[in-house]
Amino acid sequence: MRHKDRRVTVVVHTDGELASRQYRLPLWAFEAAKWSALVIGLLIVLFFAFAGPIGRAAARVPGLEREVARLEAENSRVQQLAGALNRAESNYQELRSMLGVKAPPDKGAVARPDLMRSTAVRARPPSAPLRYESGTSEPTHWPLDIPGFVTRGQVRPGDPAESHPGIDIAVPPGTPVRAAGGGVVEAAGTDPAYGQFVLLRHAAGYETMYGHASRILVREGDSAQAGQVIALSGNSGRSTAPHLHFEIRREGKSLDPLTVVKQEN
């Protein structure tokens, strides 16, 4: 019984006064009050420790939302401008072709008046059911799954003002670029003019060049089968709009790709 009757006496003395006040509390009530005060103090400390960062993060949310909205609006405008640029480039090439106007030569380009010509070879597009030959072969396949739009052809003999050893095929960025024939990757990398490019070596002295890619999927020394996706089209290097620059060479001399491979309707 004595243990249950234990009490705690709290003496309160006010400065300047003679009398003191005494408060007698049961021991269990004193212990409960002590631990409650400790818990409340700990909760207050934790509240201020976590409430500060949370409050600061919450205050940043409206600003971040405005920034995201601004970036989305700018991205939309950039896409609209890119589309308008592509249409303008296409219209320019068509108008130049209709009027017979010559474009200024590319800087650093070398005229090739002695270009070789090959007999035309019909080839099915990779998008149609066809059988690719295995191993090393001559380049006879269209390098894209879609026809694309040829915005610039190869330079013709006697027209050195517009030196262009291949053709430019306008296609959306990221379009799969396929090997026109089986061969070995002679070079793959980045060039100031071609941008990201892949150069394949084929049978019978043929070579094919694929320029302005956004991503290269093969490495130098790799074997590439006809129809294999070797890159994704893009707008790298000396380029004004997304397209694939496609060249065919034989014994070091350029051939007009449109006379070597043609996409069937």
| Per-residue pLDDT tens digits for 157-172 | 555 555 678 889 999 9
- Please tell me whether residue 50 adopts helix, strand or coil conformation: helix
| Per-residue pLDDT tens digits for 104-120 | 544 444 444 444 444 34
d(CA 158, CA 138): 28
CATH of domain 106-263: 2.70.70.10
Q: Which residue is listed with tokens 């089209």? A: 233
Tell me what pLDDT residue 231 has: 96
Tell me what pLDDT residue 123 has: 46
Q: Is the pTM of this model over 0.75?
A: no
The mean per-residue pLDDT over the stretch 121-127 comes to 48
Domain boundaries, the chain: 1-101, 106-263
d(CA 87, CA 79): 12
Question: What average pLDDT does the chain have?
Answer: 79
Tell me what pLDDT residue 160 has: 53
Token digits of residue 200: 């394949």
Provide the CB-side half-sphere exposure for 54 (13 A, CA): 6
| Per-residue pLDDT tens digits for 52-62 | 777 777 777 78
pLDDT above 70 for 121: no
d(CA 248, CA 157): 16
Instruction: Answer yes or no: are the C-beta atoms of 201 and 210 closer than 8 Å.
Output: no
Beta strand segments in 39-156, E: 122-123, 149-152
Tell me what pLDDT residue 234 has: 95
CB atoms within 10 A of CB 124: 16
The mean per-residue pLDDT over the stretch 121-137 comes to 63
